[in-house]
Amino acid sequence: MRGTGAVLSMAIIPILLLFLLCAIKEVIPYSVHWKPTWPAYRVPIILPQSTHNLDKPEFVAEAKLEVSSPCGPQCHKVSPLPTYEEVKQYLSYETLYANGSLTETEVGIYVQRSETESRGRSRMKRQIYGYDSRFSIFGKDFLLNYPFSTSVKLSTGCTGTLVAEKHVLTAAHCVHDGKTYVKGAQKLRVGFLKPKVKDSSRATNTSSSAIPDKMKFQWIRVKRTHVPKGWIKGNANDIGMDYDYALLELKKPHKRKFMKIGVSPPAKHLPGGRIHFSGYDNDRPGNLVYRFCDVKDETYDLLYQQCDAQPGASGSGVYVRMWKRQQQKWERKIIGIFSGHQWVDMNGSPQDFNVAVRITPLKYAQICYWIKGNYVDCREG
């Protein structure tokens, strides 16, 4: 285990206290000069305790491009908090390697203490809510530039987001149906949009802004895939949707600018109460589709919204742009993963939402550890 030379005081604590200690460290007051600012969170430490081999999966499940759950916001809000042992179980994870081998890793959860401190029904296809507010992104000048360039396509049909030099964040159901790994998961590839041919000279009096550039996908193989046990054990039930995320490690660096992950702030602190994401919706083949919308409701683990989306957009990174006070600059961060669809009983009337899995302090600690390989670089989200 790597350290910095300083003595750390870490202790296992009950899950309720864990949630409380993961709260915002600083409260930034509103003023006439107020900017939507990234809050500072105390992030717990998640460390592997033991790893053992599992039987090789058979890769027989059909890839599902969406997931649904009947448990809405009120259902989640009245559910009891998980125990510490249950959270450890949910955050333990499986790792699938390119050669088909599979391991399971159990984890421990710790909190670093300072000297002054001693937690309806399902639907087969997502709806377009009224007027279709999605924007197809055309032209290499947009597609190849940040933030749209961070969106990638999975060979199983979903979307992913670049979150590090060799890592892609996506939805767990894009590689695992809750019971077993899907067909194509062993030879999973990630596609990057690139120009099909080099630009030829064009007449200066010809406008090409409305003419989409011809693009193609360049594919990179995935070296290994991490999936939390909360998804595998939950099988897309009330708990499972909370853990619908996975991290892919590529066999080589992608050499593009990526978007960092961050802890999801409360919806009321989001700029305009809105979220943004781009994905490869199936009804617009070959197109990257961008959208934004208001968050309608939230639980500790999920964001409920009505962003227009179709199958294929699953796994898209949900992001916001806020002020980074330490660096005195604006910064976009991934705060969630677009997951699926829910029918919600709102005062006796069914209403449908699209759902994103929030990156909580615990999930941030886990995903960051998967990326960095140590907890030292994952102290604040």
Q: Annotated catalytic sites, by residue?
A: 173, 238, 314
Return d(Cα 362, Cα 67) in angstroms, integer: 23
DSSP output for 188-227: -EEEEEEESSPPPP--TT---TTSPPPEEEEEEEEEEEEE
CA neighbor of 93 nearest in space, from 1, 172, 162, 166: 172
Dihedral of CA atoms 18, 23, 26, 27 in degrees, nearest 10, equals -150
Tell me the angle at which helices 84-91 and 361-372 cross, rounded to the nearest 10 degrees.
40
What is the rounded CA–CA span in Å between residue 62 and residue 82? 31
Contacts of 116 (CB under 8 A, 6+ apart): none
* Beta-bridge partners for 88: none
CB atoms within 10 A of CB 184: 18
Residues 6+ apart with CB under 8 A from 259: 146, 147, 150, 161, 162, 163, 317, 319, 332, 333, 334
Smallest Cα–Cα separation from 159: which of 299, 334, 282, 300?
A: 282
3-state secondary structure of 274: strand
Phi first, then psi, for residue 230 (nearest 5°) are: -60, -35
Distance CA 333, CA 41 (A): 14
- For residue 260, give the nearest of 163, 366, 168 by alpha carbon: 163
Q: Which residue has the tokens 């999930």?
A: 363
